[in-house]
Chain A
Amino acid sequence: MAQVSEDIAAPAGRAGWRQLRWARTTLARLGGVTLAVLIVGAYFSVRTHGQILIGSNLLGILRGLSSIAIMGFGLTVVIIAGEIDLSFAMVYGLSTNIVAILWVTHGFPVWVAILIAFGAAILVGAFNAFFTAVVKIPSFIATLGSSTLVFGLTLYIGQTQNISYQFPPIGDAVHKSDASFFHDLGSASLPGGFPEEGIWALGLLVFFSFLLTRTLFGFRLKAIGGSRAAARVVRLPVTRYIFLAFVIGACMACLAGILDFSFVGSASPDDGQADLFPVFAAVIIGGASLSGGKGTALGTVGGALLLAVLANGFALIAAGPFASQLLLGTVTVGAVVIDRFTSRGATA
């Protein structure tokens, strides 16, 4: 290709043009989600006469997106690896019930209960990974099965009760220090009413951005998701990475469950189930590809933000479920379409 050889011959001396092109690329890259958030935000600002922009409401949006984003980070890792996890929503429920039962009902120290909950999550992740990477069942089916198993386990452990650590069932005593420690995990009072879950989400955003773009782990993960066959040829540790990915996914779901339990105050049998779709939507809107090899933490937060802004706006105008679900679906599809559109124009 004559054109191409000329390009290489000219060194990268025209720095100004390069910066411009990079800016256009970045804008295009942020394009779909950012654009959607701005459009939706603008719409609701007008519709609610600016109420959506009130400080404490913005913080409420941040809190609302936090647990979705946290679970989203875990799911993003799994999806980049080229797999799918359908069980994380149930792991969320499992962890809240484990902590509730062990700590509130049986009096374990709260940090022990938390550790056991994470241990259970790690086991579920390992279980998923085993069937996916070793037995080689498609991860969609393996995690579909494990999600039902985990739900059954949740029902058994929690005995389908609703348990609160602030109002424990009669006969159970909860140590005040444990209770305040647990409360401060997810809902400590911070200056200005800043939501603590938001801090968790932002901190994990930094962590996962770093992990995915600046570590060998992230680099190899993308490769493994991009082509499993090539990964095998260049001898990447595929099985190990699939285990790590599923365990990370499960642990994030466990963390989200514990933080939400801390905030809401009660655990119930079907905790987490309603989060399955929103988390997937956030991750996909954020630019991850279901075929693997592509995804970012920032994108996932963007997707979670979009969903949270929509939900918040609909609540403010008290639209019925019909209007809100209709628009939610439209915006989800629209954001992905815009994203594909702008990514074609971007170089590389």
Chain B
Amino acid sequence: MKSGSWSGGSPRARLRVALVLAVLGALVYAAVGGARSDAGGGWTVQLRHGGTFTLASSIAAKVKAHKPINYVFSYGSCSIQGFSQQYQAGYSDSLPQANSIYPITGKRLCPPQTQQDVNTQINQIQALLNTNQVDCLSIEPQSSTSMASLVAQTLAKGIPTFTVGLSTFGNELTNFTQVPFQEGTTAANTVLSYMKAHNMHFTTFAVSGGDPTQYWAQQRAIGFRKTIEKAIPNANFVTTEKNMLNTTYDPGKTYDAFKAFLSGAGKNVQVIENVDIGAGYAAQAIKDAGLQGKAFSVGWNVIPNEIAAIKNGTQIALFDQNWPQQAAFGAIACAEFMKTGKVLPNTQHLTVITKANLNSGLAELKNFKQYALTGLPG
């Protein structure tokens, strides 16, 4: 195919210009024709950071006529190991439950890439917004700031919007998520109860993680440290949130990092708090260094080697964020809001699994319906 830049200047150039103009004209016409205005008319609630939210009149009309509403759930990626799976499960299982409160039809959106792709996530939601297919929205933002302006838009349009997962700087109705600082506190309290129950006196601690600079990693570490320091004044933190041991998420590297740490700077450490999935490798390194009984780990998420470590006593506890519960929240909150106008609050708490409640805890996690969302009437 050769370039067309040689002869035939006039007719070809004219057609090309005409084509582009036609496309532009169509777009302008579409823009003008497709605008959708929305005045308030439904009920009004207070927003998280001040201001009020009023339900769009079209949606309110649907509710009055008891027609099903369109619920959309958007999360950051379809293909993150573990996370996406649990989110999808939580969402699917939530729909029947939500429908028993108020009829809703659900649509689930996620960008296919594993990497953060804010643009795609926004485009996906916009597509449904622009075609008036969103009556209620729940978003898991990939960063605290990326969805903030989108949420402002949807609220201005009168669409109830919730966020789950990462805490966000938006002004949504509810941000249903773990609070990382509280998570850290819970972790610390778990360690303190363990010390009390087994009559142990730990004084030397360390924190580690696969992605130390992340906000949630930092807050989990800070919450842990502050709570420990309050209860144990002479506690010594070999690594704090400022110089957290960076294990990465690669299993081999994680293990190596702990092994090196335990034979070096951390040789006197008694409790390692790993703020994500690597704690099982810490436990393994502890065992391989012959420090079993002297050093312990705590960590996050249900990972097989963590469970094994709990069983053999090297890991004190693991904490689960209840991803399925987060994914389930939106549908139920939407149904509830449509039916009663009530906004469900954030009631997420960490599920603590220790040796004592190992079996029942795991079972409970598997069947998330058991931990009903508190605050739900009936």
CA gap between A324 and B30 in the complex, in Å: 26
A58-B30, A192-B35, A316-B128 as given contacts; A29 in contact with B4, CB under 8 Å: yes
B356 at the interface (CB under 8 A from A): no
Asked if B112 and A56 make an inter-chain contact with CB atoms under 8 angstroms apart, the answer reads no
CA gap between A274 and B149 in the complex, in Å: 21
A265-B148, A266-B148, A320-B78 as given contacts; A57 in contact with B115, CB under 8 Å: no
For B31, B79, B213, which residue has the most chain A Cβ atoms within 10 angstroms? B31
For A25, A64, A162, which residue has the most chain B Cβ atoms within 10 angstroms? A162
Asked if A315 and B1 make an inter-chain contact with CB atoms under 8 angstroms apart, the answer reads no
The proximity string for B residues 236-263 relative to A, scoring 1 for CB distances below 8 Å and 0 otherwise, is 0000000000000000000000000000
CA gap between A64 and B215 in the complex, in Å: 29
Q: Which residues does chain A contribute within 8 Å of B127, judged by CB atoms?
A: 57, 60, 312, 315-316
Residues in B116-172 with C-beta less than 8 Å from chain A: 116-120, 122-128, 130-133, 142-146, 148-149, 169
A59 at the interface (CB under 8 A from B): yes
CB distance from A195 to the nearest CB of B (A): 9
Asked if B30 and A55 make an inter-chain contact with CB atoms under 8 angstroms apart, the answer reads yes
| Nearest A-chain residue to B33, judged by Cβ | A55
Asked if A54 and B131 make an inter-chain contact with CB atoms under 8 angstroms apart, the answer reads yes
Place the interface of chain B in its size category: 35 or more
| Tally of A interface residues using CB under 8 Å | 65
Asked if B8 and A321 make an inter-chain contact with CB atoms under 8 angstroms apart, the answer reads no
Q: Which residues does chain B contribute within 8 Å of A294, judged by CB atoms?
A: 1, 3
**Interface locus among B103-111, B180-188, B306-314:** B103-111
The proximity string for B residues 80-117 relative to A, scoring 1 for CB distances below 8 Å and 0 otherwise, is 00000000000000000000000000011111110111
Asked if B123 and A192 make an inter-chain contact with CB atoms under 8 angstroms apart, the answer reads no
| Nearest B-chain residue to A340, judged by Cβ | B1
CB distance from B48 to the nearest CB of A (A): 13
Q: Which residues does chain B contribute within 8 Å of A60, judged by CB atoms?
A: 123, 126-127, 130
The proximity string for A residues 285-311 relative to B, scoring 1 for CB distances below 8 Å and 0 otherwise, is 001000000101010000000001001
A55-B29, A55-B31, A192-B28 as given contacts; A274 in contact with B117, CB under 8 Å: yes
Residues in A301-345 with C-beta less than 8 Å from chain B: 308, 311-312, 315-316, 318, 320-321, 324-325, 343
A62-B27, A274-B117, A343-B1 as given contacts; A268 in contact with B131, CB under 8 Å: no
Asked if B112 and A167 make an inter-chain contact with CB atoms under 8 angstroms apart, the answer reads no
Asked if A268 and B3 make an inter-chain contact with CB atoms under 8 angstroms apart, the answer reads no
Given contacts A22-B12, A265-B145, A312-B123, 20 further A-B contacts (CB under 8 A): A19-B11, A22-B8, A26-B4, A51-B131, A54-B130, A56-B131, A64-B123, A67-B119, A166-B148, A192-B28, A264-B122, A265-B149, A266-B148, A274-B111, A274-B119, A312-B127, A316-B128, A316-B131, A320-B78, A343-B1
Q: List 22 A-B contacts (CB under 8 A).
A: A22-B11, A29-B1, A56-B31, A56-B130, A57-B127, A59-B27, A59-B34, A60-B127, A192-B28, A192-B32, A192-B35, A213-B5, A260-B119, A264-B146, A265-B149, A266-B143, A268-B143, A275-B119, A294-B1, A311-B120, A315-B125, A348-B2
Binding site for A on B (CB under 8 A): 1-5, 8, 11-12, 15-16, 24, 26-36, 78-79, 107-113, 115-120, 122-128, 130-133, 142-146, 148-149, 169, 211, 213-215
